[in-house]
Every structure is written in structure tokens, then in C-alpha cells.
Structure 1
Amino acid sequence: MAHHTQTERSFTLTRNLQAPRHLVFKAWTDSEHLAWFYNPAMPTPSSPIEVDLRVGGAWRQQMVVNEELHYPTGGEYLEIVPDVRLVFRWGAVGGWPDLAGDQQREAPVVSVNLTDAQDGTRLEFTVNFPDHLPTEEVRNLIDGGTRDGWGATLDRIIHSTALTA
């Protein structure tokens, strides 16, 4: 069952996964298991997924929409609690959102919280937009595809082979 809540500056999506927390965490943090992130309707990039799993480290993977449009995305890790919580500044240097220089201040912060559920793991995924961004801009980002895009992405983790490892 998919749920979402929203405030003026954030939204939360929830998924229940039939897998233990350590496998869900691994699906988010192991470069061998992050292919679930790719949209199957788009070309799969040939460049490797990079994960430097430490606070201040980065996760980067190339997203390919078509031959003309491709960009790195991922995040910069702010907090890592194995099998429990992952917090990252969403984006990549030179990517989308762009984390270069001062643009880090514009980037949303994502929290992935994992708790035990009856038949596996409850995943709570929250995107928080920076306080200094105008409320209307935040609403446009959320309603303009950010929430729906992340919802579709999270739906893909449900079928990830990483969760059956």
C-alpha cells in the first residue's frame, strides 16, 4: 500500500517491502544493487554506479532519457545508520539536481528510514526542500513531477532482485 503525506516544504512516501531491513539498506547503498533505480522505459547507461558510503561521500549514477538528455544523479551522504537510516543531499555535481558549489544550498535533502514491519520492512522516504526556496517554487517542484517521479522509482525497488538476495 502506497501512502504519501505532504507539507509546504516536504513530502513523504511510504512503501512496505517483503524483505528484511539489511537487504533494503543494501539496495540503496551497494553499487551492485542500485540498478533498480533506472527507469526500465529508458536506455540503461553503460557507466558504472559509484558509491562512496561514508558521511561526505557520494553516490552517483548516470540517468539516460535519450541520446540528447543524460545526466548524473545520486546524492551526498549526510547521515548513515546501517539498516536503519540514510540521509543524503539529492543530486550530483554537474547533474540534476546540481550540487556544484553554492547550488548545494538549493538541493533537497532526502531521508530513507527503515523499520521492521509485519512481513518485512517499512520504508519511509522523505524529501525536504531548503527553507530559503520560495514556497511556490517548492510546490511547483513537488507537484511538477518530483513526488510522482520518486513514487515511480520507489515502486521499482519493490521488484528489485536486491531484495531477494
Structure 2
Amino acid sequence: MTTEQSTAEGFSYALERTLEAPAAAVWSAWTTAESYAHWAYAAPGSVEMDVRPGGTWKATMVTPDGGQFPLTGSYFEVDQNRRLVIGMDVPGKNEPAVMTVELTEESAHQTRIVVAQTCDTADERDLAEQGTTMLLGSLTDFLKTAH
């Protein structure tokens, strides 16, 4: 059973789902380059992750129409199996976009995930929330086949 909740306030959003997987499996999906590439619409071989505070990441994302765009960023907070705070570099902006991923293990086979982000405008928030909704859907499908 997947439950989903979305809240938006100002230029922020938070998406919450209950995933049918233990927290360690969800963590691994977010922090292992091969797994992340599989579910997060990244070009094969393009994902690099140094998952530690101050570590960097990069990935080339593939759009539904086949376009590709590179993303880079860094990790601000890393609390294994619990919390990731990820910065994403934004062209033309001095400060990175920040996404928070929080995991709460509800049982041995269920984890609540909350993904939150604050954006500069309502349009940016809407696009980011739409993208995160797609990612969570793909993550849900990946976890069903991953364990």
C-alpha cells in the first residue's frame, strides 16, 4: 500500500509516501550510483556520488523526449538510513537548490519518505514538485523489483 501526501506553502513543497521497503534499501537506492541511475532517469554511467558531508555528486538526466542535461551538487547532511540534505547547483544562481530527504522506518518492510524543497518562485516550485513526484513514482517501482 502506497500512501501519498503533498503539502505546499509559499515556494516550498513536501511530498510524503510510505514505501514498501526497509530504510536501508531506500537509502541505498538514493546513495548508490548504479541504483540511482536505474530509477532516477539518469544516463547510464553518468552518476558519481561521494556521499558524505561536503562530498559532491553529478548525473546526466535524460528527459522523456531523449534530451540530456547535466546536474551537479553536493551533500550538506548525511545521516545514514535517516536524512540526506542535497544541494543542486543552479546555473546563474549563487546558492544551490536544497532538497531534504527524510526516512522513517515504520516497520521492517515499510519506510516513510518525505522529500522537501524550497524554491525561489511558484513556477520553480511547481516544476520541482512535478519532477519529485515522478522520481518518487519511479523509486516506488524500483524498490518493488530491487528486493
List structure 1 runs of 4+ shifted beyond 4 angstroms. none
Taking structure 1 as the reference length, the TM-score comes to: 0.76
* Alignment equivalent of 1:147, drawn from 112, 129, 135: 129
Unmatched 5+ residue regions in structure 1? 39-43, 92-96
Matches within 5 A, 1:16-35: 16-34=18-36, 35=38
Are 1:19 and 1:120, in contact at CA under 8 Å, matched by a contact in 2? Answer: yes
CA distance in structure 1 between the partners assigned to 2:124 and 2:141 by the alignment: 27
Residue 160 of structure 1 aligns with which residue? Answer: 142
Which structure has the highest strand share of the two?
A: 2
Q: Aligned-residue CA RMSD in angstroms?
A: 2.2
CA distance in structure 2 between the partners assigned to 1:81 and 1:112 by the alignment: 10
Unmatched 5+ residue regions in structure 2? none
CA distance in structure 1 between the partners assigned to 2:73 and 2:31 by the alignment: 11
Aligned length: 142
Matches within 5 A, 1:73-84: 73-84=71-82
Matches within 5 A, 1:1-165: 1-34=3-36, 35-38=38-41, 45-65=43-63, 66=65, 69-91=67-89, 97-98=90-91, 103-105=93-95, 107-118=96-107, 119-129=109-119, 133=120, 138-143=121-126, 145-161=127-143, 164-165=146-147
CA distance in structure 2 between the partners assigned to 1:47 and 1:90 by the alignment: 19
Moved more, 116-125 or 78-87: 116-125
**Max radius of gyration: which structure?**
1
Instruction: Summarize deviations over 1:100-153 as a string: whole Å, max 9, x none.
Output: xx7241x32100000022551000000123xxx4xxxx112123x221111011
Percent sequence identity over aligned pairs: 27
Give 1:161 deviation, angstroms: 4.7
CA distance in structure 1 between the partners assigned to 2:135 and 2:59 by the alignment: 14
Taking structure 2 as the reference length, the TM-score comes to: 0.85
Are 1:14 and 1:125, in contact at CA under 8 Å, matched by a contact in 2? Answer: yes
Give 1:59 deviation, angstroms: 1.8
